[in-house]
Structure 1
Amino acid sequence: MVFQGSSTALSHTGKVRSNNQDSGYAGSNLFVVADGMGGHAGGDVASSIAVDRLEELDRPFGSSLDAERALQETIHETATDLIDTVATRPELAGMGTTVSAIVMVDDYAVIAHIGDSRIYLFRDGALTQITTDHTFVQRLVDSGRITPEEARYHPRRSVLMRVLGDMDPDPEVDSFIMPTRPGDRWLLCSDGLSGVVDDTHTAKALAAGHAPARTADMLLKQALDAGAPDNVTIVIVDVGGQHPVFSGTPTIVGSASNPTGVVVTAARPGRSSWLHPVRQAANEPTHFEPQPQFLEELIEEDRRRARRRRISWIVGLVIVIALIAAALAGAYAWTQTRYYVGADNDTVVIYRGIQANIGPIHLSELYQDTGITLDSLAPFDRATVTATISAGSLAEAQSIVERITPQKGSGG
């Protein structure tokens, strides 16, 4: 059965890259995002080859299991295509691509995924990431060593652990089948979107209820407003819904839509392959798949970085505590330069410090008992001393005591 719904595909170079290495496809039953990579190699070639190969799956399938098997087989055949392409054109060595694809079969979404492009499902107002990134930092998140928020800004966030490339003829591809229902919105995107637009803003755009094309434009604008340092590719698929049923004419965007400057050769019977003439890509690589020994170096580097963060945090905490302690010590030292005159039981005494307490800590202490009884003071002086009299120094406190001391032979 032909998929009933509406869809769109959109791809943009972004604000930093000088060429678009992404490819996207929205057909009758098939929907794909491929994010090419490869520095001096041709990421645009790799993503174009992937879409070109997968396009043959844009047809009805007898069952979801048949579609899943076809997706797996076709992606593995694409890996062979990439290897054969590099054998013919060695200057393309190192190219690769992510692949995130959905084949709609009846009421099911058949999904295949490798790399760090993503598939989301927006259902009942909630956005859920369906695929798992095959990245170094995702392993750190899975192991609890960093949080998802830390992963967004990790310096190794673009290091791929799995990718469709020219080195592995048998790549490990995630595939699974999910039930879908009218009203579902599926989003396939390259990390040019998910890397700069968070899930909250993505969900808000999908929840607005606009047609897929307008929704994709809204998401692209958010990516561009955030700087769009990488190519941005978006495919949106609505299941059923209020918008017109998709016409069935495929929409191909990005590298796969523009073979200008690309030589088409018969790399295998009955199919075409995309090969650049000798040239170097304008951009440095944004992704690469590490060798096992390099992965160990990355893990050790991350451990060192974590240790440095802990040490920096501890040192910073110690410095803050030391500053607070120094400030408290200085404040306490100042209080000990102050005095006041008061009463202790029935005599006049001089206290050192100020009339305040911090919890159990008293900021004053008895300095001198003058021996002058309160009963010997004039009523006004007695009341004043009982209420305490502040003094800026010991000499001032002693002067206050002399002033209130009854003169011998006076009144009586």
Structure 2
Amino acid sequence: MAISGKSAAVSHVGKIRANNQDSGYAGRHLFLVADGMGGHAGGDVASAIALKRIIEADKSYASAQDAEFALQTALLAANTMLAETVFDHAELTGMGTTVSALARVGDQMALAHIGDSRIYLYRDGLLEQISADHTFVQRLVDSGRITQEEAAVHPRRSVLMRVLGDVDSSPEIDTTILDTRPGDRWLICSDGLSSYVSDDKIAATLGNFPGTKDATNRLVRESLDQGAPDNVTVVLVDVGDGPDSSSNPPQTVGSAALPLTYEADSARRALRLPTLLLHPLKSAQHEDSHFEPESEEYLDELILEDKRRALRRRITWLVGILLIIAAIVVALLFVYRWTQTHYYVGANGETVAIFQGVQQDLGPISLHSVYQQTSIKLEDLTPYTRSTIEDTISADNLDDARAIIQRLADSTDG
């Protein structure tokens, strides 16, 4: 695979949303994705403000540690700018944004991350998620309350525990430094990609499309093919043998590529987060699914809600299992009653008897019993007749069985 040390950024509004609240940037040394939230309360504004502040850190650094510190400082500065913007524009209350950023310094990458946008590393045909999702369901997974499979379909999977915005004046930023080498492909994306395109499909795309721009376009196309209900933004960085800066000119995509405006109309009325958090489907003004809890009280409420949901799921499964068992029991009873309408003549020890039921057994359950014992002895019958009785003779009904017994009795009398 030919790697040229290039980068590319693509952002698409998706097939459902009216505006793009994502922002992406592929610069000389810095690469990032910001996924805004708040719907008409300013998600597009939040991601644009954060990106424009953070890209001031797109410069050469003496060490990866310096780059790591610069990224952390830039994210905290962007958080302050968002809080100040909300103070000046109350209609934007509740806006926030995720940020996932990379800064390349030589053969190392400095990372800074908050929220649920993701950073992946594709190396030697394998895709690895580097960042950790700061979501409510990920906290449940980490605590062992639910599995990763359950998290993927959890109704609260988009609830964020950490974002940049006007909620926390000093949010916790994940930072780290990792080694990189020629041939590595670093992918940053919003959840518009990771929530709808599997890791296996992402890895296959990165493996099949060596061109940086081609790969980013294909990843966005994969999301669109899944319906793309959310904005999708992809930034791809291919590490080459050359300098630690990208050979492409800086590129900004998404809401940050447009003029920054503050619309003080009825569509941007302030929305309180607790109401949105607990009743997201009832808030007609809000078109996003990302929320930030304002206190532990709301986190506790979410945990209680999750427990209630788990209890309802267990009750549903239990009722379903009981109904299946009841159906099996009814079917067995029906089959048993049907067998008891049949009769046959056979040997019961050394004599002949009429049996009710059928010759077969259902496991340990016998489907036949002696209905009438006769005084006809097997030794009094001809060898052929005795063999026939031992093999049993089926009767159409009870009267037919009695007629067979009468013929046997007549033959012995004769």
Question: What's the TM-score once normalised by structure 1's chain length?
Answer: 0.91
Give the C-alpha shift of residue 4 in structure 1.
Answer: 7.3
Distance in 2 (alpha carbons) for counterparts of 1:330 and 1:297: 49
* Partner residue in 2 for 1:74: 74
Residues 119 and 187, structure 1, Cα contact 8 Å, conserved in 2 = yes
Which one of the candidate residues 307, 311, 335 is aligned to 2:311?
A: 307
CA contact (8 A) 1:377 1:406 kept: no
Question: What's the secondary structure of 2:40's corresponding residue?
Answer: coil
2:59 aligns with 59
1:176 offset after TM fit, Å?
A: 0.7
Q: Does residue 284 of structure 1 match 2:287?
A: yes
User: Does 344-353 or 294-303 show the bigger shift?
Assistant: 344-353
Distance 1:362 1:30 in 2: 78
Provide the secondary structure at the position in 1 that maps to 2:121: strand
For residue 287 of structure 1, what is the amino acid of its counterpart?
H
Please say if 1:231 is aligned against 2:217. Answer: no
What is the letter of the counterpart of residue 400 of structure 2? E
Q: Which residue of 1 aligns with 2:132?
A: 132
Identity of paired residues, percent? 55
Query: Residue type of the partner of 2:184?
Result: D
Residue number in structure 2 paired with 1:267: none
CA offsets per residue over residues 17-57 of structure 1, 9 Å max, x none?
01101000001111100001113321111111111111122
Q: What amino acid sits opposite 1:374 in the alignment?
A: L
Code of the aligned partner of 2:194: S
In 1, the alpha carbon distance for the partners of 2:393 and 2:207 equals 70
CA deviation profile, 1:136-166 (whole Å, cap 9, x unmatched) = 1111111222221221221111111101002
Please name the residue that 1:331 is paired with: 335
Give me the whole-angstrom Cα distance separating, in 1, the residues matched to 2:42 and 2:290: 13
Measured against aligned partners, the alpha-carbon deviations of 1:271-316 in whole angstroms (never above 9, x if no partner) come to xxxx424243686232110122122111111111111111111111
2:370 corresponds in structure 1 to 366
Tell me whether 1:344 sits opposite 2:348 in the alignment.
yes
Given that residues 115 and 135 in structure 1 are in contact (C-alpha distance below 8 angstroms), is that contact kept between their aligned partners in structure 2?
yes
Q: Distance in 2 between matches of 1:156 and 1:346?
A: 74
Which has the higher mean CA deviation after the structures are superposed, 34-43 or 276-285?
A: 276-285
Q: Does 1:111 align with 2:115?
A: no
Q: Contact between 2:5 and 2:247, CA under 8 Å: does it hold in 1?
A: no
The answer to whether the 8 Å contact 1:184/1:238 transfers is yes
Partner of 1:165: 165
Equivalent residue, structure 2, for 1:121: 121
Mapped to 1, the partners of 2:217 and 2:337 lie a distance apart of 65
Q: Distance in 1 between matches of 2:263 and 2:343?
A: 91
Aligned partner of residue 410 in structure 2, secondary structure:
coil
Distance in 1 (CA, whole Å) between partners of 2:411 and 2:43 is: 103
Aligned to 2:287, what secondary structure does the other structure show? coil
Q: 2: distance between equivalents of 1:348 and 1:408?
A: 12
Aligned to 2:391: 387
Moved more, 345-354 or 169-178: 345-354
- Aligned AA (1:306): A
In the TM superposition, 1:24-35 aligns within 5 A as: 24-35=24-35
The root-mean-square deviation of aligned C-alpha atoms, in Å, is 1.9
Q: 2:137, 2:370 → 1: CA distance?
A: 63
Q: Distance in 1 between matches of 2:392 and 2:301?
A: 71
Query: Whole-Å Cα distance in 1 between the matches of residues 154 and 57 of structure 2?
Result: 36
Deviation of residue 352 (structure 1)? 1.7
Whether contact under 8 Å (1:343, 1:385) holds in the other structure is yes
Q: State the distance in 2 between where 1:370 and 1:5 align.
A: 98
Letter in 2 for 1:337: T
Say if 2:380 and 2:412, in contact at 8 Å, map to a contact too: no
Unaligned runs of 5+ in 2: 269-284
Q: Which has the higher helix share?
A: 2
Task: Say yes or no: does 1:202 pair with 2:202.
Answer: yes
Equivalent residue letter for 1:284: E
Superposition deviation, residue 409 in structure 1: 5.7
C-alpha distance in 2 between matches for 1:252 and 1:177: 24
Q: Secondary structure at the match of 1:98?
A: strand
Label 1:24 to 1:391 Cα distance change in 2 as closer, same or farther (>3 A).
same
- Output the CA distance in 2 between the equivalents of 1:296 and 1:97: 23
Task: Please tell me whether the aligned partners of residues 121 and 184 of structure 2 are also in contact (alpha carbons under 8 angstroms).
Answer: yes
Give the C-alpha shift of residue 134 in structure 1.
Answer: 0.7
Kindly state the Cα deviation for residue 408 of structure 1 after the two structures are TM-superposed: 6.7
Contact 1:351 1:364 in 2 (8 A): yes
Within 5 Å, which residues of 2 pair with 1:83-122?
83-122=83-122
With normalisation by structure 2, the TM-score equals 0.90
**Equivalent position amino acid for 1:334 in 2:** W
Query: Runs of 4+ in structure 1 displaced over 6 angstroms?
Result: none
1:319 — aligned with what?
Answer: 323
Q: Which amino acid aligns with 1:35?
A: D
- Partner residue in 2 for 1:215: 215
Corresponding residue for 2:275? none
Give structure 1 stretches of 5+ with no counterpart: 263-274
CA distance change for structure 1 residues 314 and 343 in 2, over 3 Å: closer, same or farther?
A: same
Q: Which residue of 2 aligns with 1:46?
A: 46
